[in-house]
Amino acid sequence: MQHAGTEIVSAVSPIIERWRHEEGPLLPILNGIQREFGYVPREALPLIADALNLSRAEVYGVVSFYHDYRENPPGRHVLKLCRAEACQSMGGDLVAERLQNLLGVKFGETAGDGSVTLEAVYCLGLCACAPSAMLDGEVIGRLDGEKAEEIVREVRA
């Protein structure tokens, strides 16, 4: 869901206020905005720049550096699949392929019906329960075909 400009200003301002007088406020502000909206709306950048006395280019440079920050709204669900080595050694590739097929999306994409965004992550610290994933912040371990289908049912529900 895209947000209207005024809605963004009213939601972003308290986040900026919460942090602007703390040390190193930029990442906490961006994290707060991403938590609120699911992405970092472009319209928020000038507000941050003004508040922190930075140029817009500086703020943009930081936003674009960090992988977490999305430029566009994600789907209703966000599925992060671990693509790192320990998970791969336990069949992570197969599960990844299966989920991409079942969901009809590739990594980095959002399904056409807006149900889900699929993202790659590199280790969730669940290596002893590999392969692993995170669905809307909930952790899932020992992914297999059955659990993959459960995930698909959940995001389609």
**Residues making contact with another protein (CB under 8 A):** 23-28, 30-31, 52, 61-62, 65-69, 84-87, 89-90, 121-130, 132, 134, 137-142
> What amino acid occupies position 77?
H
DSSP codes joined into one string, 7-67 = HHHHHHHHHHHHHTTSSS-HHHHHHHHHHHHSS--TTHHHHHHHHHT--HHHHHHHHHHST
Say whether residue 84 binds ligand FES (CB under 6 A).
yes
Interface residue with ligand FES, options 81, 130, 143, 148 (CB under 6 A): 130
Q: Which does 69 bind (CB under 5 to 8 A by kind): ligand FES, another protein, none?
A: another protein
User: Taking the complex as a whole, how short is the minimal distance between the CB of residue 125 and ligand FES, in angstroms?
Assistant: 6
